[in-house]
Structure 1
Amino acid sequence: MTINMRSALLIGTGGFGNVHLRELTRLEDEGVLRLAAASDVRVPEQSAKLIADRGLRVYSDYREMLAAETGADFVIVSTPIQLHAPMCCDAMEAGYHVLLEKPPGATIQDVDAIAETARRTGKLCAVNFFAPSRSALERIVTIAASGDVGRIHSIKGLSLLTRTHAYFNRTPWAGKLRANGAVVLDGAFHNPAAHLLYSMLKLAELVSGPDGTGSGADPLRVAAEMYHANAIESDDTTSMRIELRDGTTLCFYVTLCARRAETQRIRLEGTEGAIEWDYQDQVTVWSKGETRSFDCGEGSVLERRYRNLMRAIEGVDDRLDVSIESARRFTLAANGAFESAGRIRTVPPAFVVRSTDADQPGSYIEGIEATLKEAFAAGKLLSETGAPWAEPSTPFDVSDYRHFPQRFRFSE
């Protein structure tokens, strides 16, 4: 079936919005879609030249753009986290489908407002989580269903990342819990490692059971320990354990304070073997004494998201790769993690190395790579590994959770 060329609008041209801008113009040159206009209160220099070269219409007020560009089909929202929900809802109310940058919202009430608006307006809302490719998902689901690795009982994710001080100074809301009175929760797993946590939940959704609804992947309880070595409000290092409705346990580990970054990965552990997926879309299976590997790469994730949304608008695809309903599980787990932790704890200075390297100044936690790998292997929280700076937390019930915050304290 031939897909009609669709027209897009972009809200936000800085930061990751610049990545969207470059990808959209590339696809426009290939005849895949058309970028009609963009909106930003201040167009950054990195985007201004491309916009000028393309002769792209630019609006300082996104609402003005939504009212003027009625011939467009969908809107990409790539703005600060606290603006995701209101801008997304405004776009759907104005008659547009939406591709929303991750995370979909800071709070569960934000995401529920988006989902309610989508239902009421009949508009699609896709979320730009970098989940495994369709090929990788199909491969993993097929292997899990075959019984080769037995019953999947746990899903683990490991994210060893490095972020220098420049990362936390890139924007006024970076590393903040609140900005201008709005909840942001810009931390390690709510921004740079959000893709990995979502992907774990997506895999759990697909392998959770035969009913096809994915309800077995609904989080019930979250236990999380959240820390920072950097001078920020939110976390830069977190360990998390999530209990799902079907009994599967998710264990997630992230730090932005590693000396050396590694490829992020997810491990599905079964009673008879294991399956591992990494950010290069490589799938590895250990079963019956054998190891098998599969390359499941499918090119640009952004292009896949645009094409999927356009096919869904046409009725060719019967589902979105990442729907707002699927993304809700991420926000439920994320909010539950903050509630469980209660507050963000500071890693004592004795365990932190402050680098004064002119090129890479940053804060690094001594031995964090080995500590997180140990926790990952054992499925333990950091306090359970005996890390001297870690403190236990209390699990938090999210089975009927509707509003953040309840137990979390914004200051130590």
Structure 2
Amino acid sequence: MPAHTIHPASAPLTGRIAVPGDKSISHRALMFAGLAVGRSTISGLLEGEDVLATAAAMRAFGAHVERGDEGTWIVEGAGLGSLLDPAGALDMGNSGTSTRLLMGLVASHGIHATFIGDASLSRRPMERVMTPLARMGADISASPGGTLPLMMRGALPAVPIRYRLPVPSAQVKSAVLLAGLNTPGITQVIEPVATRDHTERMLEGFGARLEIDEEDGAGGKERVIGVHGEADLAPLDVTVPGDPSAAAFFMVAASIVPGSDLAIENVGMNPTRAGLVEALRAMGADITETNPREVGGEPVADLRVRHAALSGADIDPALAPAMIDEFPALFVAAAFAQGTTTTAGLEELRVKESDRLAAMAAALTLAGARVTEREDGLVIHGTGGDPLPGTPKGAAVATRLDHRIAMSMAVAGLASREGVTLDDAAPIATSFPGFMNLLEQAALETPL
């Protein structure tokens, strides 16, 4: 795809917008509905490439998955314990979530599956999921470095385990819990640091029996999640809230484009995902939650974000699990703050769709920001609210096949003098189709 330039905003971001459905919840809704016996409906599903890869995989496992009228998805489950051998390799595209969670499903079914992905996903490590699933009895053969392509045969029956996460990871936790669904006995995951809990909330909604407790660990209280195996999942009608990771880009855009006053509707406010709101508020952002409510077991609110003078801050590393995907957007906010923003404890960002620390350091530097890259974070010296210069003529940000790098730097372009050019905007479609159109819409809306 040719380079794409995001020009400076010609007007403030105003009016009301709605972001696509939450990607994490969309993945899980398709998987769990595909394991239930009976018909589930899913409203508000994110129809990006990553989620569609999950839908295709569940069809390959024997579930009937189709898009109904007006965007509602209908799933007739294959039934837990009744998954079929896929006829061919499962192409996960760019979706690490699909890959790791579906590996959990395969691990406790006596089926064989091969996982493949695009160039970016094929560089991402899978050992962190392979290790506990192998302990449960799964036979896994990966490419050198523990990457895709990867072949596995599930164990039937699998062995329940008690597994302590060596690093915080909702994907690893979820993979083990999903393997535990079809495993006799109780499978437990111990979390020294709490991660997003969409899996636990939704599994209980589908009828799984979970036990969630706390116990004393070396570093304090640890969360213990146990799932009772050989579960019977019942169908459920799911309404997917707006994705806070998608809303993140508009929260930052409205904060840094002068005069902006933007309402973002129906945003999931799960406390394990709301770290960016806390971090931006610590920097002086003007973000108000209105109409708080619960949708499908998840807290939801509308957010009103107004332009504000941001100040640099030391971001608490403890916030990282609750905003790990939102750091690229936060780095952009920091580039426009008064003073210095320091982040640490972000080694996880080096093994995302790209090395997001290196990618964002290079991208922001190219656009004129002052950035120091450290092993576990970035130090960003802000402009004090002045526009960034933008990318030099003939130069383009290397998005590295990473949708969040592309979207973050698009937001930076709105508050630049000369615009920001991306080498490729195509990766945005993996998680947020219509992102560019929505950015333009927000700049053309009638003020609130």
Do the structures match in fold with TM over 0.5? no
TM bucket (normalised to shorter chain) is under 0.3
TM-score by length of structure 2 reads 0.26
TM-score by length of structure 1 reads 0.28
